[in-house]
Chain A
């Protein structure tokens, strides 16, 4: 049997099982309420709902994998065979999915999985009778598989254009609640009316969007050499100026953002901002100094509780009620002290051992603030209430957004200038080889403590703003998941890189807030995303050059596809025989 056919069967099985899994956990029927694409112009009541999106993507993906480029043997890899393999995978996956309602209606799984009953059958069979529905489902599966395989067969640039077009359409449809609110806020009501209706993307708009994106992708990519030529002519000065202008525009946009996006999105932005602060702090400890700290939430808690005690009239024992901004210096001093206290005993631990001990410290922090022992001071399980906002900023997301943004900028600038200084070099050396760093004259104990202290300061400022924003804090707000989220966003974004931290926070904290439909499946998706990242791009979305090199050791011949041609050339190792 040709390899490609075997691949088709295997990936069809995988796709079918993935679809069945999605159905059984309820991601198909509970998402069906949400209409993504309104096709009523061509088909009465026609449309694509969110429930369909994930199984469809799964089948597309397996179709694509079944026809993968990797099969190099010319005899076994004709275009026709590839397409056949994709279609085969899609058909098989469709068959398996179509069979799911039969089994569940027979009561086999229906009694175990509540989601497998009733509505799932209607959805999978497209509201038709079982026979017609199954046939339709298999046909759709085959088409999707074929489409996935087509992406392999197409020239790379065309495939890329198609993928981007698809992504943009899906995103625009998914983010409808926010995009439509933004469009109305900035007075583009007519655009909103054109694109959306009844909460779904209109088919003509989707087609136009896809065409535009594809065109843009195509021209942008083919422009590559021209761009470098332009850069060569205008020289470095112009590039620097362009960067400043872009930076200025970005800052201006950030400043007016809350007004544009409205309250709900501003709230998301402030949450992202708090996690950016946490991420930047933890990035100094882990990304720069290489100290795997899993108890970072402790500093977040210290910041939040210090503000609570110092500012709130509701603080149980000691309530000086000083203003938020006056409390901030105390917060930082206390956090740095505690950072040093935690840092000092674990100085001699490395790697996994350090991780375990700091994990313990994080849990100790949470248990302490909720303990009966400290209840007279910190309120135990009741927490601290009536924490005043950070005047002159109110609790409104549109207002508290600004100081959080300011501190994110300060933190980012701090991190950048530290990274490019003698200190950053020392951390870098220490992370690479502690013994060699010490033997090169670096006081590793001092620099470890410095990393802990600066990381602690960032973390506690994040906690302070959390406190002022929420107004009430409980021990439960400071559990392990904060540490894990912060670490995950650093890893996702690209460890050791400031822009990576920001992107990581947007994706990991921002996106889930936007996609409320996925709320119940948040951790499931989280896990899937992290596993996928570790397999496909372990260095993160926006890695530092250095980290990329570390993680791709030995894969140096591999072509950097999917990367900007401008950056990928710098990543390729060169032989430089410097023999005098």
Chain B
């Protein structure tokens, strides 16, 4: 665990993703209010908060499913507000889902190849004419998909096995491989260890660190379980009731009274 040089302040320099005063309203409900947030390049950071804190809403704004009512979101210095989800994938943000959303009756390999879609250029009529370029691209995609599956630890029978028949933990790995196939610079993981047993959780945590190191990724984790993020993330942002209540290293956040109060209720911090 490396402590950030500027422990309690947002790192101003070289953020791959930056959100400024993001606010989103659904009618009278303010789901996120003035959230400032940044992911430094090459770091693993986490967004945590109790259930209903507005984490997933915030996440959905980063991935283009929702648009903020006000505020700005910039990826690599360019605004991504108003882009569609697939355009955001093309810019270099990949994501997984909290409730695994694989293409169940496609093969494991095909799932990853779908993820590669944005990095393929073959026109739709290319396969009709059996253009050599299309074949080459298809073969390269297949190759790349195999490499990624290998990386996340799925090696057996990837060409005949359906995604839905994989064990739970492997499904999570497959989702990550699919997200990686689009060559993201930033990977967003929505509760990647939800529903996992301690052993699987440990393996997943190791995989996340390994991905950052080997693929040079920046990673944003969403979790409501604080214990999970402590071991892997370098900075943690805490949301509660749609507002950012704390930011810092795991140690700082763990001992922050406001955070403890948010998680355990009033009085818990002083007790």
Interface residues in chain A, defined as those with a beta carbon under 8 Å from any beta carbon in chain B: 413-414, 417-418, 420-423, 425-426, 428-429, 432-433, 435-444, 450, 546-547, 549-550, 570, 573-580
Contact = CB atoms under 8 A, between A and B. Distances in A.
Interface string B107-146: 0001001110110101010111010001001100100000
Contacts of A570: 160
B106 A578 contact: no
Contacts of A418: 124, 127-128
Contacts of A426: 114, 117
A428 B106 contact: yes
Contact of A439 (B63, B110, B122): B63
A441 B90 contact: yes
A348 to B, nearest CB: 13
A573 B165 contact: yes
Contacts of A422: 117, 120, 122, 124, 127, 137-138, 141
A439 to B, nearest CB: 5
B232 interface: no
Contacts of B122: 421-422
A438 B85 contact: yes
A435 B89 CA distance: 13
B161 A576 contact: yes
A439 B114 contact: no
B104 A576 contact: no
Given A442-B118, A576-B166, A578-B167, 17 more contacts: A414-B128, A417-B130, A421-B134, A422-B120, A425-B114, A428-B110, A429-B106, A429-B114, A435-B101, A436-B101, A442-B114, A549-B164, A550-B105, A573-B162, A574-B165, A576-B165, A578-B166
B105 A443 contact: no
Given A425-B113, A576-B166, A439 B124 contact: no
A28 to B, nearest CB: 45
B124 A440 contact: no
A438 B178 CA distance: 12
B86 interface: yes
B154 A441 contact: no
B79 interface: no
B103 interface: yes
A574 B138 CA distance: 28
Interface string B149-184: 000011111001110111101100000001100100
Nearest to A549: B105
A495 to B, nearest CB: 13
24 contacts: A417-B128, A417-B130, A421-B127, A421-B138, A422-B117, A422-B122, A422-B141, A425-B113, A425-B117, A428-B106, A429-B114, A433-B103, A435-B101, A438-B85, A439-B97, A440-B114, A440-B178, A441-B118, A443-B84, A549-B164, A576-B157, A576-B161, A576-B166, A578-B166
Contacts of A546: 105-106
B51 interface: no
Contacts of B138: 421-422
B85 A439 contact: yes
B90, B104, B122: residue with the most chain A Cβ atoms closer than 10 Å: B104
A444 B118 CA distance: 12
B63 A437 contact: no
A579 B122 CA distance: 36
A420, A421, A577: residue with the most chain B Cβ atoms closer than 10 Å: A421
Nearest to B158: A578
B203 A441 contact: no
A578 B155 CA distance: 8
Contact of B84 (A428, A429, A438): A438
A432 B103 contact: yes
Given A418-B127, A421-B138, A549-B162, A432 B104 contact: yes
B132 to A, nearest CB: 14
B43 interface: no
Contacts of B153: 578, 580
B33 interface: no
B86 A432 contact: no
A443 B130 CA distance: 23
Nearest to B124: A423
A351 to B, nearest CB: 17
A445 B252 CA distance: 45
A440 B117 contact: yes
Nearest to B101: A436
A420, A442, A575, A578: residue with the most chain B Cβ atoms closer than 10 Å: A578
The 10 lowest CB-CB distance pairs between A and B, nearest first, are A421-B127, A441-B89, A441-B118, A436-B101, A432-B103, A429-B114, A546-B105, A580-B153, A438-B85, A423-B124
Contacts of A450: 124
A414 B141 CA distance: 22
Interface string B189-215: 000000000000001000000000000
B244 interface: no
